[in-house]
Amino acid sequence: MPKFKIYGADSNTAKDISVEVTADTPMDAESIALDRGIFVSRVVEVMPPDSSHSCQSLANITCKVCDQGVMRRRTVHRLSGPAVTVGYIFLIPSILGMIIGGVIMIITIVGTISTSGLFEDVARDQMAHAGISETIISEVINDHEISNTQRDELTDDQKTVLDNSIQSVILGPMATQTSGVVGIGFSIFIIIASIVGGLIGWLLTMKKTILKCKACGAVINAS
């Protein structure tokens, strides 16, 4: 049954009044209002809420400022132009920095692992070439030293090669490890700096959704 809104005046107080009644026709609504003591001046049918408009999408909101324009959904930067420019200046190198930092770290790790046995191989070759016995070579590689009796059996040239080899197998890996630690530390520094820079860039270039009136340009926030 349709609903009607009755505008009129209260017969007792003469004040303006409006009531809603349910009736088949406007006539019936009017007579119901009269029975309640209302001098009816106007009867308006109340439209039942249209289900297709109950879920009105944000894109079809009419502007409240000019009452004509349709509000359009737009995505804009939260901050103004210069801040956004600075944001991108932070953002682009920081992405490159993360990639470069990662590559340096991988190269350092791979390099450190692949050179770990290199000094031993070179020392072994040099000692074998100088005619030093396999027993002594093994001791140099494994213990980094030999007994004085073994040393006394060697010629002066062999002693020189032996001392160089001992230094090489001790200091070589240390140097590799040191450069590995420096390389990894450097790459971690680059990655962290890039993450911080990227965060600043992201904050400065953040976007928001607004609704903007096509007619008058009024803007309201949608997010």
Residue 9, Cβ density class (10 Å: 0-12 exposed, 13-18 middle, ≥19 buried): middle
69 binds Zn ion (CB under 5 A): yes
Nearer to Zn ion, 42 or 64 (CB): 64
CB of residue 211 to Zn ion, shortest distance in Å: 10
Tell me how far apart the alpha carbons of residues 205 and 198 are, in angstroms, rounded to a whole number: 10
In angstroms, what is the minimal distance from the CB of 195 to Zn ion?
Answer: 43
CB closer to Zn ion, 69 vs 180: 69
215 near Zn ion, rule: CB under 5 A: yes
Closest approach of Cβ 78 to Zn ion, in Å? 22
Instruction: Collapse the DSSP code of 185 into the 3-class scheme (helix H, G, I; strand E, B; otherwise coil) and give the result.
Output: helix
Cα–Cα dist 166/145, whole Å: 7
65 binds Zn ion (CB under 5 A): yes
Which amino acid would we find at residue 76? V
Angstrom CA distances, 110 to 91, 116, 183, stand at: 29, 10, 11
Minimum CB distance to Zn ion, residue 72 (Å): 11
100 binds Zn ion (CB under 5 A): no
**Looking at 46, 66, 76, 188, which residue binds Zn ion (CB under 5 A)?**
66
213 scored as a contact of Zn ion (CB under 5 A): yes
Q: Which is nearer to Zn ion, 69 or 87 (CB)?
A: 69
| Paired tokens of 38 | 């209302």
Candidate ranges 13-21, 102-110, 140-148, 206-214; the one touching Zn ion (CB under 5 A): 206-214
Helix axes 156-204, 118-129, angle to 10 degrees: 160
Angle at 68 between CA 62 and CA 72, to 5 degrees: 45
Q: Using the rule CB under 5 A, is 34 a contact of Zn ion?
A: no
Q: Which chain residues interact with Zn ion by CB under 5 A?
A: 63, 65-66, 69, 213, 215-216, 218
